[in-house]
Amino acid sequence: MISLTDIKKGLLVSLWFVFLTFPLMVIKINPIDKVILWRWSNMYWVAGGSFLCYLAMQIYKTRKLTRQEHIKQGLIKEKPKMQFKLLSDPKIYLPTLAVAGLFFLAFPLLFSTYQTNIMITALMYVVLGLGLNIVVGVAGLLDLGYVAFYAVGAYSYALLHLHFGLGFWEVLPIGGLLAASFGILLGFPVLRLRGDYLAIVTLGFGEIIRLILENWNEFSHGPSGISNIPRPGFFGIHLGLEQSITYLYYLMILMVIFTIFVVNRLQSSRIGRAWFALREDEIACQAMGIDKTKTKLTAFALGAFWAGMVGVIFAAKTTFVNPASFTFLESAIILCIVVLGGMGSIIGVIIAALILILLPEYLRAFSDYRMLVFGAVLVIMMVFRPQGIVANIRRTYTVQKND
């Protein structure tokens, strides 16, 4: 199974790793005693570890290849993929769904307020991911400035409360609609652009919104932000801090369910099909009679709508907004969620959002190596599943033969 060349290559790889990590892992300078510590044992660990990793990867690859060969020759049947089984067999997915539902419903009762708070953030990213999924995953319009709509939502709550005393429930739809109109505003100038060019313009748009918020003191109170934003009210009853977090948690659960419902229906509709077609081939899409302008604008608007709503919830959760919450990094994370989850897949985006937001929190056990492990997980995911956690699954139709 392992040939000599594999071992040779493995040695070369481990040599490379030793060379690359040498300054970091082996040399340690103690500036107080002015001595250099040579930690040679680390070098052996790196060499051995990378060598074994390489061999394991090689074995995995050859096994996969031989299996594919066998399938081609008809020796063994292709097993239905795990994810298809999970998603298509009701015997499997209904219990899974029920367990997941119960877990999420009972979450605040089982875990501390701190954990619940983290989960609220994760759920917010689920909705953000699903929103961006419409634009990037389904319609294929690479948007690097999605956080701008999130900011529009958050600031619309902050400002409308500050100036007009509007409450959470009134602003929630307003924030969504305002973000959607900003989506259309962005959509118009970028109608002709695709791919990289579109990405650059949307990136600029995101930065413009952030810089306006940062510098227009009279309007947005600049970098110092707006504080004392009230939490969502519960039929006029005053809630304590813990209660209001639990309340917000269930609110977020409802929001996620609502989003899944809407996004799912949109995707499997005539409009959703037009979005997919737009992603696949813009010229053919137009030649089939689809209005490119309308389709792109609805995608931008409906994608931005969710960011606006989550923005309002974000402002209500933290009770404080300032421009520092809406940097490019946020857009990048949301985009990561969509790509990692699988373009256009709802369940994939949900899983990816939970992984990407919860993982760094639970990796705190590794303290210093937290971000390193996080990065490694991302790289490994993309190497082994470039199509995302759940790859493109299309709706199938059963055909009745009328003989």
Q: Helix or strand or coil: residue 29?
A: strand
**Rounded to 5, what percent of the chain is helix, strand, coil?**
75, 5, 20
Q: Helix or strand or coil: residue 249?
A: helix
| Neighbour tally for 287: CB within 10 Å | 9
Please identify, using beta-carbon distances, which residue of 73 and 398 lies nearer to another protein. 398
Q: How far is the CB of 71 from another protein (least distance, A)?
A: 15
Please identify, using beta-carbon distances, which residue of 28 and 192 lies nearer to another protein. 192
The Cα–Cα gap between 187 and 295 comes to: 10
DSSP output for 118-158? HHHHHHHHHHHHHHHIIIIIIS----S-THHHHHHHHHHHH
Please identify, using beta-carbon distances, which residue of 97 and 288 lies nearer to another protein. 288
Please identify, using beta-carbon distances, which residue of 108 and 140 lies nearer to another protein. 140
Check if the beta carbon of residue 300 is closer than 8 Å to that of residue 152: no
Q: How far is the CB of 127 from another protein (least distance, A)?
A: 17
Q: How far is the CB of 292 from another protein (least distance, A)?
A: 7
Please identify, using beta-carbon distances, which residue of 91 and 270 lies nearer to another protein. 270
Please identify, using beta-carbon distances, which residue of 383 and 399 lies nearer to another protein. 399
Q: How far is the CB of 232 from another protein (least distance, A)?
A: 24
**Among 157, 174, 170, residue whose Cα is nearest residue 230:** 157
C-alpha Rg value of the chain to the nearest Å: 25
Q: How far is the CB of 392 from another protein (least distance, A)?
A: 6
Q: How far is the CB of 130 from another protein (least distance, A)?
A: 15
Interface residues toward another protein, by CB under 8 A: 262, 265-266, 269-274, 276-277, 280-281, 283-292, 298, 302, 392, 394-397, 399, 401
The Cα–Cα gap between 132 and 304 comes to: 8
